[in-house]
Chains A and B, each alone.
Chain A
Amino acid sequence: MTANAPGQVCLMQGNEAIVRGALEAGINFAASYPGSPSSQVLGMLGKVAKERNFYAEWSTNETCAMEACIGASLANARALCIVKQNGLLFAADAIHCGAQHGVKGGMVIVTSDDPSAHSSTNEFDSRYQAMSANIPMLEPTSMQETKDMVPYAFELSERTHQMVIIRLTTRVCHGRGNVVLGALPEKPHQMKQVGEWDRMVCVSYLRSAMLQKMDMLRQEFENCPYNHYVGPDHPKELVVAGGTGRLYGQEAIRRLDVGDRVGLLSLGTIWPLPEKTILRHLEGVEKVLTLEEVDPVLERNLQAIAGSHQMKIVFSGREDGALPKIGELDPDNVAQAISLLTGAKLPEKKIASQEPLIERELTFCAGCPHRATFHILKKVLRQEKHPGAVIGDIGCYIMSGQAAGQYAFQACNCMGSGINLAEALGQLTHYGLDQKVVTVCGDSTFFHTILPGLVNATYHNANMLLMVLDNSATAMTGFQPHPATGITAMGDQVPAMDIQKIVEGIGCKAEIADPFDVKETEKTIRRLLNTPGMNVLIMRQPCATLMTKKKKRPVRVYVDQNVCLGDGCGCDKYCSRVWGCPGNTWDFKNNKAYIDPVTCVGCGVCAKLCPSGAIKVEGGEEA
């Protein structure tokens, strides 16, 4: 990554290409909060930050990260902020104010959208944020462009005194392609002392300056090297592509053999759009297909441009159903849409069996403490007078809404919302709502956005229980450090923050329980559910994946099939069917329980749950 080998060809992931681009741009400052699909970027930056003499941090949340980057820009530093689509929304106020006051040192935001919501709860389109805040946005169509756009964006940002957003999508972040490396600068970008009369202040009259910048950029983008056209001189049919659409489109045009009559215009400048370039290519065209990820943003803008020039063009894409309204582009739906546009057909394929195959639902890992937590919580709630109201939050434990967590929660909104939704229900228990109210959050989420909600709920004495599922990791996105881990993105050891002390510091009771100590924890939860006011229970047990990374399997857990009564037991296959750990499988030949040694990590909780005592824990102490 830090090799100064211009011209060398590497196989690079999109996330890596961003890192390399940042190094080639000589950044001074980088900040992020992990969010897939771009979670890996800051982790990689942190590892090389000292060597390349810049600062990198995992911020407590995206607003901290975004505002810190704006701060760095005041000192003429080049600052890079990396977020996912939800993170960009979370920091929306900061970018709207930032766009109005502009920047000094180059500031680039990388946002990663997640079409098909592979690792998100939604597929929001971040282009609306660029449009709404008047921030220029670029979108690469290959790994090479992904790298090259970073230094380009910094240069553009400095020239226009405006932040620049680079929009990525999952297939770019988690795709790999060949990248030709550029040179690394000897030193990072030159910073400047903040002068007494330097200003970056958001005031309303700066709106006109902001709009002038957009006009300037619109001009500039007419000649941007990231807008390409391939195809005949005056096509009747034109494909306009943004992002991943270019390569899917290019391949589909080749497979359909329509390259001599269909044009392909791909736009790397997503906002503002280069209107003159677009108009030039629309001239004489009868049909336009737009290939873009998520919403028909480009399509609607093309329609507006064509409409304002009285052009008679039939548009197709996401809007009219030529492409699906939800889900990502892929080679098949793009080829089909181009087939529809041109009438050309692909050769028929032999159709495989239509007999449905069972789906593989996501589940907690073997040995995951969350499984035990929700197992106990649901058990306790079922014994209450009324079933409780459980509010979820964002992290691995969102899977508790499915079979993995016994369909634990009734509501889950955005990250950090659980405490606030629950606070309302907790207040309503003072007004006749006769129900126990519980919400959960992870340790990283606790710092991200739970804290203000906890202050609110504690101050207003809501009747509720917050369970902090403290697995010592930002597990869902790949074990990034957070304030309770005692380590930073750059690898420095720092004092870890104590969640219990923080909670107690605001005047709220906080206890600690071990989810693997099934009996004691059950009693604790029952007691806290019946304690009026705001209660916090920290469920402490490290993430199973973190544990397997750190050490070899500490113990062997196995089924003594001489003791197991199989399906004649009456336990209803409790270990494999009810407990639901992927390690607890079933030996269909002997009709007895079986523990898969490949999957099991040796937490030993199932041994405590087996009514026959058939599950044995061997070697060392169980967890």
Chain B
Amino acid sequence: MKKLKFDPLNIVICGIGGQGNVLASEVVGSAMTDRGYRVAIGETYGASQRGGSVMSHVRVSEDQELSVLIPSGEAHMIIGFEPLETLRMTRKYAGPNTTIVYDPRPVYPLGVLQGIQQYPDQEALMAEIESLSAAAYPVPAADIAMEVGDSRAANIALLGAFTQLPDAPLSREDLEKILTQRFKGAVLELNQKAFTKGCAAVNKKEA
């Protein structure tokens, strides 16, 4: 069992209902359990339906029994499927050590489309995420997923990007192995493509 840089290691995964939040947290959590760590996950789901804000907390420790929720300001990594939701969670959970990987593609709340709410300015929003974290990596996960054939693979693309972060507890190879265990046939192929492109999206930025 590799020593964790932070113990407990706290990861927030956020987005809106239907974006594959729960699956992403479960994949990360199972992988860490298999490595012998203690894992706790808390899922907050949008009232069982779609369209609301959702998030999962993934917590990993070598020996501590943890509650399923992360105290505010204590996240080490944030994976965001939507920029507004990423900012919401960054404000609450980010601290000086937090690294963030997120899809900057907005999904407008109904109120914005109906003209009763205003979506924050995209650039200001991204700048605030950047300023509240140690490092923030925007990755066009939904675009990548659509390129490879299905928007539903966006979560896997973002997980690919996640493995490329400096403090990622799981390597690209670790997650690739899990994908082959979880999926079969055409779905596996699609997810593998999305995953590879997701990995490359962060490499490109760093290079």
Residues of A within 8 A of B (CB): 9-11, 36, 39, 118-119, 142, 171, 174-178, 244, 247-248, 250-251, 255, 330-332, 335, 349-350, 352-353, 357-365, 396, 399, 403-404, 476-478, 545, 573, 576-578, 580, 582, 584-586, 597-599
A176 to B22, CA, bound (A): 11
Asked whether A586 lies within 8 Å of B109 as measured between CB atoms, the reply is: no
Quick one: given A358-B118, A582-B110, A598-B142, are A349 and B45 in contact (CB under 8 Å)? no
Residues of A within 8 A of B117 (CB): 358
Query: Given A176-B68, A331-B69, are A10 and B114 neighbors across the interface (CB < 8 Å)?
Result: no
User: Contact between A361 and B113 (Cβ–Cβ < 8 Å)?
Assistant: no
Which residue of chain A has its CB nearest to the CB of B84? Answer: A357
The distance in angstroms between the C-alpha atoms of A176 and B38, with both chains bound, is 11
Q: Is B47's CB under 8 angstroms from A11's CB? A: no
Task: Determine whether the beta carbon of B67 is less than 8 Å from that of A251.
Answer: yes
Set of chain A residues within 8 Å of B118, measured between Cβ atoms = 358
Q: Assuming A174-B43, A352-B90, is B70 touching A11 (CB within 8 A)?
A: no
In the bound assembly, the distance between CA atoms of A359 and B111 in angstroms comes to 9
* Complex alpha-carbon distance, A289 and B109, angstroms: 40
B119 CB-CB contact with A under 8 Å: yes
B109 and A352: CB pair below 8 A?
A: no
* A476 touching B48 in the complex, CB below 8 Å, given contacts A176-B26, A176-B68, A358-B118: yes
The answer on a CB contact under 8 Å between B109 and A175 is no
Task: Tell me whether B97 is interfacial, beta carbon within 8 Å.
Answer: no
The answer to whether B52 and A360 have CB atoms under 8 Å apart is: yes
Q: Which residues of B contact A360 (CB under 8 A)?
A: 16, 46, 51-53, 84-85, 109
A11 touches B29 (CB 8 A): yes
Q: How far is the CB of A322 from chain B (nearest CB, A)?
A: 17
Q: List residues of chain B with CB within 8 A of the CB of A578.
A: 114
Q: Which of B71-121 contact A (CB under 8 A)?
A: 71-73, 84-85, 87-88, 90-92, 94-96, 107-120
25 example contacts (A-B, Cβ-Cβ < 8 A) are as follows: A11-B26, A119-B47, A175-B41, A176-B41, A176-B43, A247-B68, A251-B67, A350-B96, A358-B117, A358-B119, A360-B46, A360-B52, A360-B85, A362-B47, A362-B49, A362-B52, A363-B51, A399-B49, A573-B115, A577-B114, A578-B114, A582-B107, A582-B108, A584-B113, A597-B151
The reply to whether A598 and B146 contact each other, CB–CB distance below 8 Å, is yes
Contact B43 A361 (CB under 8 A): no
> Contact: B30 with A576, CB < 8 Å?
no
- Is B65 in the interface zone, CB < 8 Å from A? yes
Instruction: Give the residue of A177, A350, A357, A404 whose beta carbon is less than 8 angstroms from that of B88.
Output: A357
Contact of A247 among B45, B67, B96 (CB under 8 A): B67
Beyond contacts A118-B45, A142-B65: 4 other A-B pairs, Cβ-Cβ < 8 A, are A244-B68, A360-B52, A399-B49, A576-B114
Q: Is B33 in contact with chain A by the CB < 8 A criterion?
A: yes
Closest to A173 in B: B43
Taking CB atoms, residues of chain B closer than 8 Å to A357 are 84, 87-88, 91, 120
B39: interface (CB < 8 Å): yes
Q: A171 to B42, Cβ gap below 8 A?
A: yes
The reply to whether the CB of B50 lies closer than 8 angstroms to some CB of chain A is yes
B113 touching A585, Cβ below 8 Å: yes
Q: How far is the CB of A193 from chain B (nearest CB, A)?
A: 42
Query: Do residues B114 and A331 form an inter-chain contact, with CB atoms below 8 A?
Result: no
CA distance A242 to B76 in the complex (A): 29
| Closest beta carbon of chain B to A81's beta carbon, Å | 21
Q: Does B132 contact A (CB under 8 A)?
A: yes
The CA-CA distance from A250 to B40 in the complex, in Å, is 15
Tell whether A349 pairs with B73 under 8 Å between CB atoms, given A362-B47, A586-B113. yes
